[in-house]
Each structure stands twice: as structure tokens, then as C-alpha cells.
């Protein structure tokens, strides 16, 4: 069996090159040699400052995944980790302030993650919810 192929998506306002550099700094070659890593840059040049802009080892360009996002549509979505897997330490602050981006949530009555879908609503200011009688899927709508 070959090495597992892994898509490596960088964080906000850095780049694939910086992400690769971070991994090679913090992970041993014994780990990296066992993985087939594929790095991609986000499609948009960063529109604001990067958290790494003052670190000479991480020069520009920097990229971001979204620009001018007007709203988010979430289907069967839950907080990262939440009750099923626990919230990773790096994600603890992700929901520390209300998300003011308008949101549309599709929640299935038979979704095995229904409780977690409902918990995500608390993260958003004035979420709009469409409930359906299906499970964890893109719902069939008339």
C-alpha cells in the first residue's frame, strides 16, 4: 500500500509554502516521509495583514480562502469536534465571539448529528434554519 495522500490546506492569510515550511520545522522526516502531501494556495491574495507578516522566515505572498463572503449555508454542520470528538485546543477560540455573518442552516430531524447541528446555531447571530425530515444529507427539496 502506498503513502496516504493528504490535501494540505493552509490557514488564514499565509500560503502553501509557509504551511510546508511549518510542517517540516515541527514534524520529523520520519513522519513526513510516510505521507504524500499536496499543498495548495487559496485563490485570493490576502486583503489584510497576516499574523506572520513580521516573521522574516515567512515572507509574502499571503492568501485567503474567502473574500467578501456575504453569507454561509451550512448543511448538517456542527461545531468542530464538539461532543462527538471534543473541541481541539486550537479550535477553542473559534466560537468565543458570535459570528455576525448571516447564516442559513439545514438541519435534518433524523440526522445523527442533530444535537450538534442545533448547538452550532448558538455560534451565529440570528441564524435562519430550514428543518427537513431527512437524515445527515443534502435534503431533497420541492
pLDDT, one tens digit per residue, over 27-78 is 999 999 999 999 999 999 999 999 999 999 999 999 998 887 788 899 999 8
Q: What is the predicted pLDDT for the residue at 84?
A: 63
For residue 141, pLDDT over 80 is answered with no
CA dihedral for 78, 40, 35, 5, sign (positive or negative): positive
Residues 4, 38 contacting (CB under 8 angstroms): no
For residue 9, pLDDT over 70 is answered with yes
Q: Could you give phi then psi for residue 21, rounded to 5 degrees? A: -60, -40
pLDDT, one tens digit per residue, over 68-121 is 778 889 999 987 766 666 666 656 666 778 888 899 999 999 999 999 899 999
Peptide bond into 61 cis (omega under 30): yes
Q: What is the predicted pLDDT for the residue at 31?
A: 93
User: Among residues 35, 39, 53, which one has the least CA distance to residue 7?
Assistant: 39
Does this model's pTM top 0.85? My answer is no
How far apart are the C-alpha atoms of 98 and 93, rounded to whole Å? 11
Q: What is the predicted pLDDT for the residue at 106?
A: 96
For residue 130, pLDDT over 80 is answered with yes
Amino acid at each position: 500500500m502506498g503513502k496516504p495522500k493528504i490535501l494540505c490546506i493552509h490557514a488564514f492569510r499565509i500560503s502553501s509554502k509557509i504551511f510546508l515550511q511549518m510542517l517540516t520545522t515541527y514534524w520529523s522526516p520520519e513522519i513526513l516521509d510516510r505521507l504524500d502531501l499536496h499543498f495548495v494556495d487559496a485563490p485570493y491574495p490576502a486583503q489584510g495583514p497576516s499574523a506572520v507578516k513580521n516573521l522574516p522566515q515567512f515572507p509574502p505572498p499571503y492568501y485567503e480562502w474567502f473574500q467578501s463572503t456575504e453569507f454561509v449555508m451550512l448543511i448538517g454542520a456542527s461545531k468542530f469536534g464538539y461532543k462527538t470528538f471534543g473541541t481541539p485546543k486550537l479550535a477553542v477560540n473559534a466560537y468565543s465571539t458570535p459570528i455576525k455573518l448571516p447564516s442559513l442552516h439545514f438541519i435534518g430531524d433524523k440526522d445523527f448529528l442533530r444535537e450538534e447541528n442545533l448547538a452550532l446555531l448558538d455560534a451565529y447571530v440570528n441564524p435562519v434554519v430550514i428543518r427537513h425530515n431527512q437524515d445527515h444529507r443534502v435534503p431533497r427539496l420541492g
